[in-house]
Amino acid sequence: MGIRFPILFLFVMSRTLGHSAELSALSQAIDPDWIAQALATTGKASVRKRKLPAEQVVWLVIALALYRHQSIPEVVAHLDLVLPDEVNADIAKSALTQARQRLGQAPLAQLFAMSASCWDERHQSGRAWRGLCRYAVDGSTLRTSDSPENRAHFGAQAYASGVVASYPQLRLLTLTALATHLVRDAVFGAYGTNEMLYAKSLLDRVPDHSLTVFDKGFFSASLLLQLQTKGHERHWLIPAKANSTWERLDPHPTDYRVRMKVSPQARQAEPDLPAFWEVRAIETTTSHGKKRILLTSLMDRQTYPASEIVHQYEERWRIETSYRELKQELLGSELTLRSGTPETVYQEVWGALLAYNLVRLEMAEVATEAQVEPTRLSFITALHYLRHEWGWMAIEAPGKIPAHLTRLRNRLADLLLTEKRGRSCPRVVKKLPARYPIRAVSKPK
């Protein structure tokens, strides 16, 4: 097919120049100038000569997610992150911890913001729907190590019985591109903060000429009107709640305009909200026969047909797999983060998001060359291939690298999913298996 792996081809040059293969390849995806700018802007650039300068620590944080099952010293040795020192070639474990603490989370947050917007804009070209880039907002949680600092900062889930979860948790919300599953932006913090507040902080970063798809839990006049009115051509799509009420404004049976009342509580909190707002309602039936009503700001029926809008909402369901890929595949089901302080937890999450986007970026590049949709490629297979290639190229003879790359390109079919997969059965609550056999109680005679 003439397919190329853009990052992997750079291993040839890295081996020729004598650099660490893994680090040289990754540094071609993330512009070193971005790292320098992030460090300079946040005041974290290394002034004194160190064996592990700030630039190398940035790569260490990203690599901690890519090599989740390796210890921090093993990752440092694997990527050759420590600068040469003829006097003392080793570096103490405490020095690695201190290096991460010196760096903090701000440079990683800024590096993520610069790279994510650049990569997303690069791969939105030709993948827009009727002139609109498509995104989805969704949320999840991550578990942190149980230190007093993390528990005080992030909090934990409390059950109705009064029992508190064994580990602190943080709440994570992402703005993810439907076309590539690249994470465009993210916000996270204390578990007890409502998702609606996190979602509002993402709105200013939603690009113009876009459609953002929400789950029904985000249904709020305040949230949706803020997205719609601030910016240019920023639209939204969301399913109606079961208790939603409105006034129909036209007689069309399945595609009609409605007028809804803004709650007095919302207007009291935000006096600028209107008393009423008009939206478009589209009635549809799922593959399981369940009726659903979608609400949207896309009012023009001719420009935005109802059947295509329904399809956009179906695409939103596939975004939920990105959290599975991040938590189970990239982090290897190690649900508890490494870091023991809130600052390094934030740093670790930004590094994991950067690592996830690096894999998704490579998939988008391959899909462009193969002329297929990036969502047709398997994240699990792509991740395994990349980790495998980074491993053997670091020790392989340079003359054998072209043959390995040819073999890899010929195996691209392994990355292709046969068809788009949907949910095969509706969600149901499964009964947990009993720990002990259940004995039948005999009835009294």
From the list 319, 346, 324, the residue with the least C-alpha distance to 335 is 324
Give the mean pLDDT of the chain: 81
C-alpha distances (whole Å) from 29 to each of 9, 78, 80, 116, 354 are 12, 19, 18, 11, 11
Per-residue pLDDT reduced to its tens digit, 134-169: 999 999 999 999 999 999 999 998 888 888 888 999
Please say if the pLDDT value at position 8 is more than 50.
Answer: no
User: What's the whole-number mean pLDDT along residues 378-388?
Assistant: 80
Q: Enter the tokens of residue 37.
A: 């700018």
Residue span(s) of the chain under CATH 3.90.350.10 come to 129-323
Domain 129-323, classified CATH 3.90.350.10, yes or no: yes
Would you state the pLDDT for residue 374? 87
14 against 363, higher pLDDT: 363
Would you state the pLDDT for residue 135? 96
Per-residue pLDDT reduced to its tens digit, 217-264: 999 999 999 999 988 999 999 999 988 899 999 989 999 999 999 999
Would you state the pLDDT for residue 380? 85
Question: Are the CB atoms for 72 and 51 separated by under 8 Å?
Answer: no
From the list 69, 59, 57, the residue with the least C-alpha distance to 98 is 57
Helix axes 21-29, 54-66, angle to 10 degrees: 100
Please say if the pLDDT value at position 173 is more than 90.
Answer: yes
- The single residue listed with the structure tokens 């603490």 is 101
Give Cβ neighbours of residue 156 (< 8 Å, ≥ 6 apart): 164, 165, 166, 167, 168, 169, 191
H/E segment holding residue 291: strand 291-296
Percent residues over pLDDT 90 in the chain: 44
Per-residue pLDDT reduced to its tens digit, 96-143: 888 889 899 999 999 999 999 999 999 998 899 999 999 999 999 999
18 against 161, higher pLDDT: 161
389 against 167, higher pLDDT: 167
Which amino acid appears at position 157 of this protein? Q
Would you state the pLDDT for residue 16? 33
Please say if the pLDDT value at position 4 is more than 50.
Answer: no
